[in-house]
């Protein structure tokens, strides 16, 4: 692992049964066993993605984890040969489902699809993810809305801690029984309180996990506060283990998280924004529906080498968007994800050759006027 001598940035390699993942890494989100608009072929050939994220909550509800298990696991189900990280389902339970009730045992919720009641426990979410056979699994955690009071956040964090211990104990039993299973990452919670974050991180160290996540960020808090929480947490986590900040971020934030010692990130931003007509380029954002692009023959981003930029004009992308063509979503998603993955590859390269602090400074001065 290479470390930047002036920031907390690190460049490493994560090994899973489905290959090597160079870090820092951004993971495209494949919510329902599909990165919306892309086939595995594009993820491989156009993006060279090494790992994608899929959502346990969604797959649990549809098609069901037992169905996926019987079909040979998630990799085979979606025909994806490289690594998969699954979340615990906690975030979606707290953001999508109705009538949830949190107890020490777990969280009772109703499906956003049909209203059926389900219980997620620290143990059951491990079992669901074992059925999916993901390479990196997450423990069940409670996610709070922003803002949350200190006492509420403390109780919630204690519950997340207790769940992590239970989930881990269950995970170790299962590994012992079957001899197999992916890595399991616990999640540091604590809302926007550094003392709770530090306490949670410190306690989770005892689990000796293969990696640690920082959760509960990007839930509406100011970006400075997100960064502060990462600063309070990351240095406490084991130096030799990957650190994953869940659900971030904007393109200009990626190097900021890396500078604070983060190795893994994910966000629906690049893919969702792509579908909504907001495209990230080296020269800033392009809102493709704007009339100025109607007869623009140039590529979306002249500095980008993605399939979309190599082959299609802004005018064509605008036309596809206006016409509601499916192809728009694919071409836009390829571009935005390539933009994110290229940013991360550039960051990794800068760390390795020792120029990351200058790169970070350049990004900060470029994005400053937008603030």
Residues serving a catalytic function are 87, 266
Q: Would you count residue 291 as binding a second copy (CB under 8 A)?
A: no
Shortest distance in whole angstroms from residue 330 CB to a second copy: 6
Instruction: Count CB-CB contacts under 10 A for residue 152.
Output: 12
77 in contact with a second copy (CB under 8 A): yes
In contact, 15 and 5? CB cutoff 8 Å: no
Whether the upstream peptide bond of residue 220 has omega within 30° of 0, thus cis, is no
Stretch that binds a second copy, among 5-13, 68-76, 160-168, 245-253 (CB under 8 A): 68-76
Q: Where does this chain touch a second copy (CB under 8 A) — which range of 82-90, 228-236, 289-297, 347-355?
A: 289-297
Q: Distance (Å, rounded) from C-alpha 5 to C-alpha 163?
A: 36
- Taking CB under 8 A as the rule, does residue 319 contact a second copy? yes
Token representation of residue 216? 């509960």
62 binds a second copy (CB under 8 A): yes
Site for a second copy in 219-278 (CB under 8 A): none
Q: In the complex, what is the shortest distance from the CB of residue 132 to a second copy, in angstroms, rounded to a whole number?
A: 13
Indicate whether 331 belongs to the interface with a second copy (CB under 8 A): yes
CB-based contact 74:82 (threshold 8 Å): no
Contact flag: residue 111 with a second copy (CB under 8 A):
no
Q: Where are the alpha helices (DSSP H) in the chain?
A: 40-45, 56-61, 65-70, 74-78, 90-95, 122-132, 150-178, 194-204, 223-233, 254-259, 269-276, 307-311, 314-323, 326-353, 356-367
292, two tokens: 């100025």
The C-alpha atoms of residue 172 and residue 54 are separated, in whole angstroms, by 23
Helix axis angle, 194-204 to 150-178, nearest 10°: 20
The DSSP 8-state label assigned to residue 189 in this structure reads -
Contact between 34 and a second copy (CB under 8 A)?
A: yes
Stretch that binds a second copy, among 130-138, 156-164, 255-263, 318-326 (CB under 8 A): 318-326
Q: Which pair of structure tokens corresponds to residue 55? A: 């959502």
Binding range to a second copy, per CB under 8 A, among 147-155, 219-227, 232-240, 319-327: 319-327
Nearest to 257 by CA among 52, 54, 26: 26
Taking CB under 8 A as the criterion, the residue among 294, 305, 361, 366 binding a second copy is 294
The correct pick among 155, 282, 290, 311 for binding a second copy (CB under 8 A) is: 311
Q: Per CB under 8 A, does 313 bind a second copy?
A: yes
Question: What residues between 191 and 210 interact with a second copy by CB under 8 A?
Answer: none
Q: What residues line the site for a second copy (CB under 8 A)?
A: 32-34, 36-41, 58, 62-63, 67, 70-72, 77-79, 294-295, 297, 307, 311-313, 315-316, 318-320, 322-323, 325-327, 329-331
């Amino acid at each position: 692992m290479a470390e930047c001598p002036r920031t907390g940035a690190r460049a490493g390699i994560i090994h899973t049964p489905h290959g090597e993942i160079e870090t820092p890494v951004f993971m495209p989100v494949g919510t329902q066993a599909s990165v919306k608009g892309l086939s595995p072929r594009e993820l491989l050939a156009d993006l060279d993605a090494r790992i994608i994220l899929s959502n346990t909550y969604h797959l649990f509800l549809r098609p069901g984890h037992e169905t996926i298990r019987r079909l040979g696991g998630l990799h085979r189900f979606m025909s994806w040969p490289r690594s998969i990280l699954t979340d615990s389902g906690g975030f979606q339970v707290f953001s999508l489902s109705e009538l949830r009730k949190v107890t020490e045992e777990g969280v009772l919720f109703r499906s956003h699809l049909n209203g059926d009641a389900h219980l997620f426990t620290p143990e059951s979410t491990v079992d669901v993810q074992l059925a999916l056979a993901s390479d990196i699994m997450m423990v069940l955690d409670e996610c709070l809305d922003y803002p949350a009071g200190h006492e509420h956040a403390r109780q919630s964090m204690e519950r997340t801690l207790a769940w992590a211990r239970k989930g881990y104990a269950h995970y170790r039993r299962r590994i012992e029984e079957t001899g197999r299973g992916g890595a399991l990452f616990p999640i540091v919670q604590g809302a926007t309180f550094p003392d709770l974050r530090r306490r949670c991180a410190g306690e989770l160290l005892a689990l000796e996990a293969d990696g640690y996540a920082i959760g509960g960020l990007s839930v509406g808090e100011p970006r400075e506060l997100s960064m502060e929480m990462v600063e309070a947490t990351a240095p406490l986590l084991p130096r030799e283990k990957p650190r994953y900040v869940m659900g971030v971020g904007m393109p200009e934030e990626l190097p900021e998280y890396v500078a604070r010692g983060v190795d893994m990130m994910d966000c629906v931003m690049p893919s969702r924004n792509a579908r909504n007509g907001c495209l990230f380029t080296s020269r800033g954002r392009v809102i493709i529906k704007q009339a100025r692009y109607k007869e623009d023959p140039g590529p979306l981003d002249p500095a980008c080498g993605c399939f979309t930029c190599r082959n299609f004009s802004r005018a064509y992308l605008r036309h596809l968007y206006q016409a509601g063509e499916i192809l728009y979503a694919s071409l836009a998603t390829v571009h935005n994800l390539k933009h994110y993955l290229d940013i991360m590859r550039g960051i990794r390269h800068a760390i390795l050759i020792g120029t990351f602090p200058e790169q970070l400074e350049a990004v900060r001065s470029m994005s400053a006027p937008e603030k």
